[in-house]
Amino acid sequence: MGIISRGFGGRRRDSAPELPPGQYLTHDFPVLSAGPTPRIPLDRWSFTITTEVGQKHTWDWKAFTALPAEEITRDIHCVTKWSKLGTSWKGVSLDTLFEEVETAADFVMAHSTGGYTTNVPLEDLLDGKAWIAYEFDGEPLEEEHGGPARLLVPHLYFWKSAKWVNGLEMMLDDEPGFWETAGYHMYGDPWLEQRYTGD
């Protein structure tokens, strides 16, 4: 060794080849919430996919956790520049949830208890790319991190992974959610550094 490279400002930061541009490595798990943490009892939890013609597909906690679940290990990247590598989750693939859904719409608005929303193209939720996660590191997902269940879309910036998600609404046109309305990028690919509108 002997050579220590310094980042901007002279601060040393962990970096790794698997980090997207502009990101630094963190080993803790920061909590980022735009509002208070809702407490959602499991007997009042439900998740609904609403199609563009108003058809609803709803799962309560019992039905949801009876679906086949997957163990997921992925890197996550927050737009505030922290990345966390190899995070472990358990959840239901969106492929499973969309099996019984008929839709011609290409865009999705995720809705959360508390009013948070975020938009994602449907194709970014399918083919093994997204889950409704309810365990982290082998434990029930903590409320601060979105428990009982959150959307997990690890290939996009983490603001797309809506905590306390309670539904997906199919949309014919792409519309901005909470942060996208405030100037965040409509798509949010961390490898292309799509942080803000115009990136």
**Where along the sequence are the contacts to ligand MTE (CB under 6 A)?**
29-34, 78, 112, 114, 116, 145-146, 158-159, 161-164
Q: Give CA–CA dist 124/131, Å, rounded.
A: 11
Which of 123, 198, 194, 107 is closest to 159 using CA atoms?
A: 194
Beta carbons within 10 angstroms of residue 130's beta carbon: 27
Minimum distance of ligand MTE from residue 50's CB (angstroms): 18
User: Which of residues 79 and 130 has its CB atom nearest to Mo ion in the complex?
Assistant: 79
Identify each DSSP E strand in 16-128 by its residue range.
24-25, 46-50, 56-60, 70-77, 82-93, 107-112, 117-121
Rule CB under 5 A: choose which of 78, 85, 126, 186 binds Mo ion. Answer: 78
User: Which of residues 47 and 116 has its CB atom nearest to ligand MTE in the complex?
Assistant: 116
Q: Which residue is nearest to Mo ion (CB)?
A: 78
| Lookup: tokens for 195 | 């942080």
Beta carbons within 10 angstroms of residue 156's beta carbon: 24
| Lookup: tokens for 21 | 């541009």
| Lookup: tokens for 80 | 């505030």
Q: Which does 136 bind (CB under 5 to 8 A by kind): Mo ion, ligand MTE, none?
A: none
Q: Which does 163 bind (CB under 5 to 8 A by kind): Mo ion, ligand MTE, none?
A: ligand MTE
Minimum distance of ligand MTE from residue 109's CB (angstroms): 13
DSSP 36: P
Minimum distance of Mo ion from residue 48's CB (angstroms): 25
Minimum distance of ligand MTE from residue 146's CB (angstroms): 6
Minimum distance of ligand MTE from residue 148's CB (angstroms): 13
Instruction: Return the sign of the alpha-carbon dihedral for residues 180, 186, 188, 191.
Output: negative
Stretch that binds Mo ion, among 24-32, 55-63, 87-95, 162-170 (CB under 5 A): 24-32
The one-letter amino acid at 145? H
Q: Which does 31 bind (CB under 5 to 8 A by kind): ligand MTE, Mo ion, none?
A: ligand MTE
User: Which of residues 136 and 159 has its CB atom nearest to Mo ion in the complex?
Assistant: 159
Q: Give CA–CA dist 66/20, Å, rounded.
A: 36
Q: Which residues bind Mo ion (CB under 5 A)?
A: 32, 78-79, 159
